[in-house]
Structure 1
Amino acid sequence: MARRSRSAGRRHPLATVALIVIGLMSTGGAYALFSSTASAEPASIHTQASADEGKKLFAANCATCHGLSAEGVDGVGPSLYGVGAASVSFQVGTGRMPLANQGPQAEQKPVQFTDEQVQSLAEYVASLSPGPGIPDKKYLKGNGNAATGAELFRINCAMCHNVAGAGGALTEGKFAPALSGVLPEHVYEAMVTGPQNMPVFNDKNLTPEQKADIITYLKYLDKNPSPGGFDLGNLGPVSEGLFIWIFGLGAVVGVTIWIAAKAN
């Protein structure tokens, strides 16, 4: 009976190993949870602090036209709910906003804020409601397919911006700006937000990879001059035709006068 009771109370040989494994797993899980929480907390605090700073900047520089809560002012400035961080980054980061004066469209001018202030404004507006976010840097490196980008640009953009990205005139005093030297992030943000008269190219119209290809094509144009020599402003048959009319007809008139003078 004594031998039987000792056998019944004896632990299994693997019980100690199981307890050690469970203890290690519990300790590791708790440590991982604590570490992720600790690492995420400063970023959250930084984002909130940045958005708070953006709110102050907004009240001082943007509220006159867009309202204290970004709800918009009738006849002055639109609501910013839903425009997202990408729209703020583009408009403020290119100097188009704050608007200097009312006109057919906002024109690019020197940027009035630092990069950190632009980011703060973008985070504040993004905190109001969902909208297009800042593009991932992997799409801005210019390492896509330039040939595909050129084809996409000709199909979707060249009718306004010119096939060489030189820009062009639109109706009612509006215009498509030249794209030479434009930062990749601003090109991407323009595609997803549709500023001024530009249509919105969401990810169903152009995938992020296709947008990256277009950026690659534009960067290629920046780095490679016109292979045909003097590009005449990249305005195509307009400038070429004007050149022919001025210099071609001028040469004909000059020769005619010379012949008439020699005859006399």
Structure 2
Amino acid sequence: MKYLSRYRRHKAVAPLLLMFALFAIGTTFSVASATTTPSQSAFARSVAIDEGRQLFLKGCSSCHGLNAEGGAIAPSLIGVGAASVDFQVGTGRMPMADMSTQAMRKKPVYDEKEVAALAEYVASLAPGPAIPTDELLNYERDGSTAEGGELFRTNCAMCHNFAAQGGALTQGKYAPTLMGVEPKHIYEALITGPQSMPVFSDKTLTPAEKLSIIKWIKAAEAEPALGGASLGRVGPVTEGLLIWTLGIGLLIGVAVWLAMKAR
């Protein structure tokens, strides 16, 4: 004690005590945060699940059942995952008034928070595809435009058109255009397979290959129409129809003019 009391008035004592106090406070705060964060996160998720269930009972249960078990006009949602809900509800395809028609992309009924709550609730029912994170969706960093074009033409062009403009399917259905679709929703469609679309698992298309497809779609979306009017970029059909219509119309006009002049 005498040894310590000898240096208690030393000019370095105050800074050392201050550093020790700050270190003790920081350590205590870190330990407290580490012990409370998981419980807070679990509590927030529980609240989101409860909110999602209330939204589900109000807006979805009449078709999908009170426990999402499905019914005569709508499938079960058990095991579809948060990604499926985020895609269907986030793009405005669900809820829909007539389940016999194809769901169209439109303005969402629910806001982002409500969509997230619905996704949390459905995800809590059974494991399923999760919503891709922003880190995963970094297609500019992890994707390849050239590879994406090849993969798109191999796996997607037969339905969505070689320029991703969409196309007709059987039984009155159609593959929608991919222009203007958020990268997150494209990725979710690939891993969930909405409606007539197949599921592209990571064994079929790796995450990097999915990102390459997204990168190619975004490149095609930004590509200017260097040849003039794009006419929907659906190939020679519209071009031939336009030429045929204008050509025949011009010939008919010339024939009528000559007939009137010959009188």
TM interval, short-chain normalised: 0.7 to 0.9
Mapped pair 1:91 → 2:88: yes
8 Å Cα contact 2:79-2:126 kept in structure 1: yes
The structure with more radius of gyration: 1
Q: Which region of structure 1 is more displaced relative to structure 2, 214-223 or 254-263?
A: 254-263
Q: CA deviation at 1:141?
A: 3.4
State the match for 1:79 in structure 2: 76
1:107 aligns with 2:104: yes
Whether 1:151 aligns to 2:153 is no
Q: Normalization by structure 1: what TM-score?
A: 0.83
Q: In 2, are the aligned partners of 1:88 and 1:121 still within 8 Å (CA)? A: yes
Distance 2:132 2:232 in 1: 31
Question: Once the 2 structures are TM-superposed, how far is the Cα of residue 253 of structure 1 from its aligned partner?
Answer: 3.2
1:215 aligned residue = 214
Deviation per residue, 1:42-95 (Å, 9 max, x gap): 11211111111111111111110111111111x211111110000000000011
- Cα deviation, residue 112, structure 1: 0.9
Cα distance in 1, alignment partners of residues 226 and 35 from structure 2: 56
- Give the drift of 1:147: 1.5
Q: Which residue is 1:64 aligned to? A: 62
Cα distance in 1 for partners of 2:249, 2:240 equals 13
Q: Which residue of 2 aligns with 1:162?
A: 161
Which residue number in structure 2 is paired with residue 131 of structure 1?
128
Given residue 132 of structure 2, which amino acid in structure 1 is its aligned partner?
A: P
Mapping of residues 246-261 of structure 1, within 5 Å: 246-261=245-260
Q: What stretches of structure 2 of length at least 5 have no aligned partner?
A: 1-26
Q: Tell me which moved more, 95-104 or 120-129.
A: 95-104
The two structures, once aligned, show a CA RMSD in angstroms of 2.2
Equivalence for 1:48: 46
> What secondary structure does 1:187 align onto?
helix
Asked if the contact 1:54/1:123 (under 8 Å) is kept, the reply is yes
Per-residue deviation at 1:150?
Answer: 1.2
Is the CA contact (8 Å cut-off) linking 2:70 and 2:77 kept in structure 1?
A: yes
Which residue of structure 2 aligns with residue 120 of structure 1?
117
Q: Which residue of 2 aligns with 1:196?
A: 195
1:67 alignment partner AA: G
User: Offset of 1:250 from its aligned partner?
Assistant: 2.3
**2: CA distance, partners of 1:141 / 1:262:** 68
In 1, are the aligned partners of 2:74 and 2:99 still within 8 Å (CA)? no
2:69–2:76 Cα contact (<8 Å) kept: yes
Matches within 5 A, 1:216-235: 216-235=215-234
Q: Tell me the CA shift for residue 138 of structure 1.
A: 2.7
1:178-220: CA deviation from partner (whole Å, max 9, x where unpaired): 1111111110100111101001101011111111111111111
Give the % identical residues: 52
Gaps of 5+ in 1: 1-28
How many residue pairs match? The answer is: 236
SS at 1:138's partner residue? coil
Partner-residue secondary structure (3-state), 2:83? helix
- What do residues 116-173 of structure 1 show as CA deviations (whole Å, max 9, x unaligned)? 1101100110010011110132343340211211111111111111111111111111
Equivalent residue of 1:227, what SS? Answer: coil
**How far apart are the structure 1 equivalents of 2:129 and 2:225?**
35
